[in-house]
Amino acid sequence: MRIFLTLIASLALGGCVTGYTLVSPAPVAVAQGSMKVKPSVAWNRAPKGVFDIPRQENWTQNGPLLDGITFIGALESGQAITKQKPKDDRKVPVFRADMTPQDLVSMIESYYRIRAGATIFESTGVKPTTFLGKPGMQFDYTYVLTDEVKRRGRSVLAVVNGKLYLMALDGAALHYFDAALPEFEALAASAVIS
Amino acid sequence: MDAFRRRFLTQGLCGCALCFGGMSALARVSPTSMTPLVGPGYRPVDTDERGLWQAFDRLEEDVAHSNMLVGDAALNSYVRGVVERLLGPQAADTRVYVVRDPDFNASMAPNGMMLVHTGLLARMRNEAQFAAVLGHESGHYLRRHGVRNWRDIKAKTATMSFLALAGAATGTWYALANAINSTLLLSLFQFSREMESEADAYGLKLMYESRYSARAASEVWSQIIEERKASAAARKKRYKDRATSLVSTHPPSAERMSDLSESAEELLANAPPDARYDDRRAEWLAAIAPHRAMLIEEQVKLNDSGASLYLINTLARDGWDGTLRYFEGEVYRLRDESGDAARAADAYAAAVAFADAPAQAYRAHGYAQLKAGNTEAGRRALSRYLELDPVAPDAAMVRFTLGQ
């Protein structure tokens, strides 16, 4: 969910982005310790983007333009999945504990359209799933940002005790999404609330 | 990336008129005084203009293969038809690309490449309004504003090289176009303002000669100004007229609308008694119908409630239907302020009362009813959604809801 931030960074800083740290293939707490997951391969933890919220963490294998995983954990009702100002012209709807599946889909789609500048965004599937041992939702989609690369995304989420827990995979539709998907699915299956 | 994109989209190559405001007044340009500076089949001869065209030809190669174009053959053919009606044989010197982007804009490059954004299509109420914008952009081409801009830049900034500029924009054609565009605008506010007046006048002339209602031009700008005011008001912000800055390229809005209106009346006063001018609304609605939901959806999902409601209410001046009521509900649902859940529920209920309600209106109606505690009504609506669209991407999730 944060590919576009790297686009901004590479334009502003000439591609010099520092601050990546190694995530070893062992159980690890993510998103301010709100969830624990068990990666089977090493990942790179990306530095915070300007619109990232505190309860967010981002990983990548091959660089955020090609693939990335976002974790958002224990987000309270009334909070947004991105930083934004009250008077922003275009705002991502805030999370509400009583959101319907349709509302959650809209919230995520708005993030891509407003924050990432996706001019083309299509839902390819919304279905029930189990996440963190609770009834959750899996949302699959494709989108195109202004770099015109076709990308695919999957968000897996659940609302537990009124709080949002979310994992999202983004990757170039050509190769990278499919390449990262098995590891993403294993990560999601391994996730537990800390 | 978003900020870069917005600047390009709101300013355009020979930017379409989104900037308004109060700087010194320019004399109105009479449409009848406008004559073309390029003839059919024009190709540049001077070295600098050839270089400019070649740079835009390379840009156009990227645009032509962009993932962001609307590929629908019927829509492209229709848009092409409007340009041909406006320009006649000279339309062969232009290419039009419909770009997926929810902002109101169109732009014209010096080599005849015209970009039409889907946000423009969403906002026009008839073919004459659309032709007003295309006519304005064609005016830029026929008056060679691109190269005139370019020559003025070179005179003012001797150190800048166009090709170096093009090379510096290492991103996509969007980034390149933006870099070119920003430079043009920053250098040339006053000169460009004269060009905008010329393009307005030329656009009116083309409309008049093509038997479009010339009054549509001032309507377009009126709608856009009102939309921007509505957007600011919804966020409790003061409406800022961007044209008060030094980068302003466009004549003041009130002056511009009055010029357009005055020029239109001048043309019509001298029209042959038997001449008929129309807005070709039926043709417009037929061409846009297959894409209308997508066009409105692009805007609504930006969650700019003031602008979205203004757009929907403007389109509804020609009559409410199921699609418009559904998207009205979507605006309230996304805005999510006090009382919006009830407003959304009312709009969805109104939407499904129309025979042409889209399937999604039943889904939205269903979830709104469930939220309000009306379980049976909610379940009926969700079931209806699945009947209408059994292979919807979210059918499994809706079935899950029904199973609970």
Residue with tokens 């049976």: B376
Summarised one tens digit per residue, pLDDT across range B361-392 is 999 999 999 999 999 999 999 999 999 999 99
Q: Is the pLDDT score of B44 beyond 50?
A: yes
Q: Is the pLDDT score of B189 beyond 80?
A: no
Lowest mean pLDDT among A121-125, B11-15, B240-244: B11-15
Residue with tokens 């944060």: A2
Q: Is the pLDDT score of B398 beyond 50?
A: yes
**CA dihedral angle for residue B247, residue B250, residue B251, residue B257, rounded to 10 degrees:** -150
Q: How far is A124 from chain B (nearest CA, A)?
A: 5
pLDDT by 10s per residue, chain A, length 194: 665 544 444 444 434 446 899 999 999 999 999 999 999 999 999 998 889 999 999 999 999 999 999 999 999 999 999 999 988 889 999 999 999 999 999 999 999 999 988 989 999 999 999 999 999 999 999 999 888 899 999 999 999 999 999 999 999 999 999 999 999 999 999 999 99
Residue with tokens 């998907």: A181
Contacts of A96 in chain B (CB under 8 A): 336
The ipTM of this complex is 0.91
Q: What gap in Å lies between CA B147 and CA B165, rounded to an integer? A: 16
Structure tokens at B323: 């699609």
Q: How far is B377 from chain A (nearest CA, A)?
A: 16
- Does the distance separating the beta carbons of B100 and A4 come in below 8 Å? no
Q: Please report the sign of the dihedral spanned by the C-alpha atoms of residue B349, residue B352, residue B358, residue B364.
A: positive
- Does the distance separating the beta carbons of B336 and A100 come in below 8 Å? no
pLDDT at residue number B239 = 66
Banded model confidence at residue B196, pLDDT cuts 50, 70, 90: confident
Banded model confidence at residue B240, pLDDT cuts 50, 70, 90: low
- Between the CA of residue B92 and those of B2, B11, B88, what are the distances in Å? 34, 25, 8
Residue of A nearest to B335 (CA): A93
Of A174, A164, A166, A171, the closest CA to residue A191 belongs to A166
Q: What gap in Å lies between CA B316 and CA B308, rounded to an integer? A: 12
Residue of B nearest to A138 (CA): B397
Contacts of A148 in chain B (CB under 8 A): 66-68, 172, 174
Q: What three-state secondary structure class fits A45? A: strand
pLDDT at residue number B53 = 87
- Does the distance separating the beta carbons of B334 and A106 come in below 8 Å? yes
Q: What gap in Å lies between CA A40 and CA B33, rounded to an integer? A: 73
Structure tokens at B98: 């419909």
Of A41, A46, A39, A36, the closest CA to residue A2 belongs to A46
Contacts of A113 in chain B (CB under 8 A): 301-302
Q: How far is B141 from chain A (nearest CA, A)?
A: 26
Q: What gap in Å lies between CA A11 and CA B171, rounded to an integer? A: 9
pLDDT at residue number B176 = 54
Of B129, B118, B167, B162, the closest CA to residue B9 belongs to B118
pLDDT at residue number A3 = 54
- Does the distance separating the beta carbons of B1 and A119 come in below 8 Å? no
- Between the CA of residue A135 and those of A124, A148, A162, A190, B13, what are the distances in Å? 20, 35, 13, 15, 50
pLDDT at residue number B153 = 66
Structure tokens at B77: 């053919």
| A170-178, Cβ contacts within 8 angstroms, sequence gap of 24 or more | A170/A1, A170/A2, A170/A3, A170/A67, A170/A68, A170/A69, A170/A70, A171/A66, A171/A67, A171/A68, A172/A65, A172/A66, A172/A67, A173/A142, A173/A149, A174/A150, A176/A62, A176/A66, A176/A67, A177/A67, A177/A151, A177/A152, A177/A153
Contacts of A158 in chain B (CB under 8 A): none
Measured CA angle at B221 (ends B9, B151), to 5 deg: 55
pLDDT at residue number B177 = 55
pLDDT at residue number A16 = 46
Lowest mean pLDDT among B118-122, B174-178, B208-212, B300-304: B174-178
Measured in degrees and rounded to the nearest 5, phi and psi for residue B99 equal -105, 135
pLDDT at residue number B195 = 83
Contacts of A101 in chain B (CB under 8 A): 367, 394, 397-398, 400-401
Structure tokens at A192: 């537990």
Q: How far is B283 from chain A (nearest CA, A)?
A: 27
Q: Is the pLDDT score of B188 beyond 80?
A: no
Q: What gap in Å lies between CA B234 and CA A29, rounded to an integer? A: 41
Residue among A109, A127, A146 whose CB faces B172 most closely: A146
CB B359 within 8 A of CB B389: yes
Which of A100, A108, A121, A152 should one mutate to test binding to chain B, selecting the residue with the greatest count of B CBs within 10 A? A100
Q: Please report the sign of the dihedral spanned by the C-alpha atoms of residue A61, residue A66, residue A67, residue A68.
A: positive
Residue of B nearest to A100 (CA): B367
Which of B59, B65, B397, B398 should one mutate to test binding to chain A, selecting the residue with the greatest count of A CBs within 10 A? B397
Summarised one tens digit per residue, pLDDT across range B333-351 is 999 999 999 999 999 999 9
Q: Is the pLDDT score of B15 beyond 90?
A: no
Q: What percent of chain B has pLDDT over 70?
A: 80
CA atoms within 13 A on the CB side of A112: 27
Counts of helices then strands in chain A (DSSP H, E): 3, 11
Structure tokens at B228: 């921007």
Instruction: Output the average pLDDT for chain B.
Output: 83
Residue among B2, B304, B396 whose CB faces A117 most closely: B2
Banded model confidence at residue B252, pLDDT cuts 50, 70, 90: low
pLDDT at residue number A109 = 97
Q: Please report the sign of the dihedral spanned by the C-alpha atoms of residue B54, residue B56, residue B62, residue B66.
A: negative
Residue among A4, A103, A120 whose CB faces B68 most closely: A120
Summarised one tens digit per residue, pLDDT across range B130-152 is 999 999 989 988 988 877 777 77
- Does the distance separating the beta carbons of B67 and A147 come in below 8 Å? no
Contacts of B3 in chain A (CB under 8 A): 8
The DSSP bridge partners found for residue A33 are none
Banded model confidence at residue B184, pLDDT cuts 50, 70, 90: very low
Q: For the sheet with A43-45, list strands across it.
A: A21-23, A43-45, A56-60, A67-75, A163-172, A150-160, A134-144, A120-131
Q: What gap in Å lies between CA B22 and CA A30, rounded to an integer? A: 53
Q: How far is B193 from chain A (nearest CA, A)?
A: 27
pTM of the model: 0.86
Measured CA angle at B98 (ends B59, B88), to 5 deg: 90
Q: What gap in Å lies between CA B63 and CA B47, rounded to an integer? A: 24
